[in-house]
Structure 1
Amino acid sequence: MFPSVSLIFRHLLAWTAALIVAGMVWSGLFSGMNDGPGWVFGLLAMFLMLSALGSAITHVRRVWLVAGKLDGSTLSSRQRRQIELPMDAGPAFALLESAIAELPRVEDIESASGSLQVRAYVRRVDPWNGRQPSRWNLPARLAIKRNSILATITPGQGTSTVTLLFEPDAGWWADLLALDEGSNYENAEAVTRAVSRRVADQRRDEQAAAEQTHVEKELSVARLNLLHAQVEPHFLYNTLANAQVLTRTDPARADVMLGHLIQYLRSSLPSMDESVSTLGVELERTRAYLEILRIRMGARLGVEVQVPDALHGVRLPSMALQTLVENAVKHGLEPKPGGGTIWIIARAFDDHVTVTVADDGLGFGHGTSGTGIGLKNLRERLRLTCGEQAGVAIVANFPSGVAATMTLPQAAKEPRHAA
C-alpha cells in the first residue's frame, strides 16, 4: 500500500510545483490589471489537480488489475526486463523481432541485425477511436500517445542475453507529471510471455524431431534385423538338406560339404547380428558358399572374381552379395544343362561403387521364376543402410544370362547406420 500512496503523493506534489510556477507566471502577466483573473487560474488549477489525482488513482488501480501486486517496479512507467535465451544471437534476434512485431497496436518497427537492436513504438489505447479530441480538451491533446520499446541482444557462448526497455515516448517530464496507467508494464509482460512461448515451442519442436528420429532409427534397426533374419536361414536350410542327401549317397562329398559349411559359419557367425557388412567380408562368405555349391554342381559351376583390394572396405548390407549369387545359381545356372559361370565384379567411380553379379545361364524367360521377395528384401535393406541413392538394377547379359548390379554411394565407406 505504501508504494501506491507514495506514488500518488509524488505525482500531486509535482503538479503542485508546476502550478505554483504557472501561477507566478500568470501573476506576472496580469500584474498591471486591477481586477486580475485570479479566479480563472484557480478554477484551472483545481481542475488540473483533480485530473492528476484521478490519473494517479486510475494508474494504481490498473496496475493492480494487471500485475496483481503494487510495488515500486510494477508502478513505474519505465520497465526493464532481461531474458537469457539458449540460442545464438542470430536466431535470438529473429525470435525477438517476431515477438515484438505481433504486439497489438505496434508500429514503426526499426530493426538492425548488425547491431542486434530492435526499436518499436506501441500506441496506447485510444478512447476517441482514432478521432482527434476537442480543441478545448488541452490535457487530451497534449497526452502521451505512444510507448517505446528498445530491445538489445548481447551474444554469449551458445546463449544470448536480451535486454528490454519499455518507456513512454516522451521527455523527462513524463516521469513527474504523466502516468502510463500500467501500459508499459503490460507491454513488458506481453513481450516476455511471447518470447518464452516461442522458446518453448522451438524446444518442443526440437524434442519432437529428436524423438521422431530416434523412433525412425529404432524402426529401421528392427526392420533390418527382420530382413536379415529372413535371409540367413534360407541358405542354411538348403545346405543342410543337401548334406543330408549326400550322407546317404556320397558320404565323402557330404563330409567335404560340411567342412565348407563350418568354414562358412566361422566367417558368418561373428557378424550375424549385424545388418551392415563390408565387401571383403561378404566376398569371403560368398566364396565359402560357392565352394559348397561346387560340391553339388561340380564342373557345371565356374567362378570368376574381379574385386580390387581397395574396395574391400565398401559397406553394404549383410548377405547382399550372396543374395545375388543365389539368384544367379538358382534361376540361371542350375536349370541350364551344361551349367555356366558366375562373375563377381566391383568397380569404383567418382561418386559411387558398383558390384555386379553376372551369369551366362538361361536368362530371362527361360530359367525358373522366383517370387521376387529376395530382391525386394535387398532393395529395402540397401535403402535403409546406404540411403536413397543405393539400388539394384537387373539386365540381360550378353550373349546369355543375367547381370545384377548394386550401386553404392561412395559414402557407403562410412555407413550411416549401424545396428
Structure 2
Amino acid sequence: MFASLSLIFRILLAWAAAIVVAGFVWSGFFHGMDEGPGWVFGLLALFVMVTALGSCIAHIRRVQHAAGRLDAATLSSRQRRQIEVPMDAGPAFALVEAAIAELPRVEDIESAPGSLQVRAYVRRVDPYNGRPPSRWNLPARLAIKRNSVLATVTPGQGTCSVTLLFEPDAGVWADLLAVDEGSNHENAEAVGRAITRRVAEQRRDEQAAAEQTATEKELSVAKLNLLHAQVEPHFLYNTLANAQVLTRTDPPRADQMLGHLIQYLRSSLPSVDESMSTLGVELERTQAYLEILKIRMGARLALQVDVPPALTSVPLPSMALQTLVENAIKHGLEPKPGGGTVWIIARAFEDHVTLTVADDGLGFGQGTSGTGIGLKNLRERLRLTCGERAGVAIVSNFPSGVAATITLPRDAREAIHAA
C-alpha cells in the first residue's frame, strides 16, 4: 500500500508542478502576470490531474493482477531481470534473441552477436482493448509510444548470465509524469518465461537423446549377449563332439583341441557382458577360435596375422573381429573344396585405424548366403560405441574372396569414455 500511495503522490506532485509552470505561462500570454490563469485553465488543470490519477490507479490495478503483489519493484516502469542460462554464450545468445522476437508487437530488433547484445522495441497498446492508448489517456498518449528491451549475455564457465532491461522508450523524466500500465513488467515476465521454457525444452531434448543413446547401447549389449547365447552352444557342441571322436582316433590332437577351447573360453567368458573390448583381447579369442577350426578343417584352413603390438590396445566392440572371421569361413572358405586362407591385418593412419579380415574363398555370389544381421548389428554397435566415423566396408578381394575392413577413429577411446 505504501508503494502505491508513494507512486500516486509522486506522479500527482510532478503534474502539479508542471501545471503551476503552465499557469504562469498561460497568464503571461492571455491575462498578464497580475491576473490568474482563469477558469478555463483551471478546468484543464483539473482534467489533467484526474487523468493522471486515473492512469496511476489503472497502472496499480493492472500490476496487482499481473504480479499478485504491489511493491516498488513491480510498480516501477523500468524492470530488470538477471537469469542464469546453463549453456555456452553462442547458444544462450540465440535463445535470448528468439525469446525476445516472440514478444507481441515487437519491432526494430537490433542484434549484435559479436557483443552479445540484443535491443528491441515493443509497441504499446491500450491493455484493455489491444489498440493504441485512448485519446483521453494523455500521459500515455503524449509521452510514450513504445517500450525498449535490452538483453546482454555475459559468458561464464559452461554457463551464461543474461541481463534484461525493460524500459519506456523515453528519458528518465517520463517516470515523473507517466506510468506504463504494467507493460514493462508484462514484457519482463513474458521474456523470462520464454527463456525458461526454451532452456527446459533443450534440457528435455538432451535428456531424451541421452536416454535414447543409453537404450540403444543396452540394446546393443543385449543383441551381443543373444549372439553369444546362439553361437556359443553350437560352437561348443561341435568342438566337444570333434574332441570326443579324436580322443579315440588321435588323442594328441584331441588334447590340442581341448587346450585351444580352454584358451578360447578363458578370453571369452569374462567379457560376455561387456560391449567393449580391445583389439588384443579380441585377437587372442579369435586365434583360439581359429586354432580349433584348423584342427577340424585341417590343411583347408590357413591363418596369417599382421597386427602391430602398438595397436593391441585399440578399443573394439566385443565379438567384432570374430564376427568377420566367422563370416569369412562360413561363406567363403568352408564351401570352397580346397579351403583357403584368412588374413587379419591392422594398420594405423594419422586419424584412424583399420582392421581388415580377408579371405580367398568363393567371394560374392558364389558362397553360402546369409541374413546380414550380424554385419548390421556390428555397424550399429560401432556407431554407438565409437562414433559416427566408425564403420565397416566390404569389398571383393583379389584374385578371389572378400575383404571386410573396420575403420575406427583415433579418438575412439575418448568418445567411449565420454559416452
Q: Same fold (TM over 0.5)?
A: yes
Q: Give CA deviations for 1:92-142 in whole Å, capped at 9, x if unaligned.
A: 2211111111111111122222222222211111569469969xx976762
1:380 CA drift (Å): 2.1
Secondary structure of the corresponding residue to residue 157 of structure 1? coil
> 1:99-178, aligned counterparts within 5 Å?
99-126=99-126, 129=131, 142-178=142-178
Question: Structure 2 counterpart of 1:66, which letter?
Answer: A
Q: Answer with 120-129 or 182-191: which moved more.
A: 120-129
Q: Answer with 226-235 or 260-269: which moved more.
A: 260-269
Separation in structure 1 between the aligned mates of residue 32 and residue 224 of structure 2, nearest angstrom: 105
Question: 1:222 corresponds to which residue?
Answer: 222
Contact 1:224–1:384 (8 Å) recurs in 2: no
1:237 CA drift (Å): 0.9
Separation in structure 2 between the aligned mates of residue 261 and residue 412 of structure 1, nearest angstrom: 33
Separation in structure 1 between the aligned mates of residue 366 and residue 143 of structure 2, nearest angstrom: 96
Q: Answer with 159-168 or 325-334: which moved more.
A: 325-334
Contact 1:352–1:410 (8 Å) recurs in 2: yes
Question: 1:93 corresponds to which residue?
Answer: 93
Contact 1:154–1:162 (8 Å) recurs in 2: yes
Question: 1:7 corresponds to which residue?
Answer: 7
> How has the CA–CA distance of structure 1 residues 387 and 393 changed in structure 2, closer, same or farther, with 3 Å as cutoff?
farther
Contact 1:151–1:162 (8 Å) recurs in 2: yes
Question: 1:356 corresponds to which residue?
Answer: 357
Question: 2:377 corresponds to which residue?
Answer: 380
Q: Give CA deviations for 1:167-201 in whole Å, capped at 9, x if unaligned.
A: 22223332222122111221221122112211222
Separation in structure 1 between the aligned mates of residue 254 and residue 313 of structure 2, nearest angstrom: 34
Q: Give CA deviations for 1:332-377 in whole Å, capped at 9, x if unaligned.
A: 666777x4442425263755535234246x778887x4x625x632
1:291 CA drift (Å): 4.2
Separation in structure 1 between the aligned mates of residue 196 and residue 328 of structure 2, nearest angstrom: 63
> 1:225-374, aligned counterparts within 5 Å?
225-251=225-251, 253-298=253-298, 300-301=299-300, 303-310=302-309, 312-313=312-313, 316-322=316-322, 339-346=338-345, 348=347, 350=349, 353-359=354-360, 369=368, 372=370
Contact 1:390–1:406 (8 Å) recurs in 2: no
Contact 2:140–2:179 (8 Å) recurs in 1: no
RMSD of aligned Cα (Å): 3.7
Question: Structure 2 counterpart of 1:9, which letter?
Answer: F
> How has the CA–CA distance of structure 1 residues 230 and 59 changed in structure 2, closer, same or farther, with 3 Å as cutoff?
same
Contact 2:220–2:377 (8 Å) recurs in 1: no
Q: Give CA deviations for 1:282-310 in whole Å, capped at 9, x if unaligned.
A: 44444444444454555x43524142435
Contact 1:313–1:413 (8 Å) recurs in 2: no
Count of residue correspondences: 408
TM-score (ref. length: structure 2): 0.81
Question: Structure 2 counterpart of 1:39, which letter?
Answer: W
Contact 1:379–1:391 (8 Å) recurs in 2: no
TM-score (ref. length: structure 1): 0.81
Gaps of 5+ in 2: none
Separation in structure 1 between the aligned mates of residue 313 and residue 35 of structure 2, nearest angstrom: 111
> How has the CA–CA distance of structure 1 residues 140 and 238 changed in structure 2, closer, same or farther, with 3 Å as cutoff?
closer
Question: 1:406 corresponds to which residue?
Answer: 404
Contact 2:85–2:162 (8 Å) recurs in 1: yes
Separation in structure 2 between the aligned mates of residue 104 and residue 97 of structure 1, nearest angstrom: 14
Q: Give CA deviations for 1:142-188 in whole Å, capped at 9, x if unaligned.
A: 24211122222222222222222222222333222212211122122
Structure number with bigger Rg:
1
Question: 1:16 corresponds to which residue?
Answer: 16
Separation in structure 2 between the aligned mates of residue 307 and residue 190 of structure 1, nearest angstrom: 65
Contact 2:24–2:37 (8 Å) recurs in 1: no
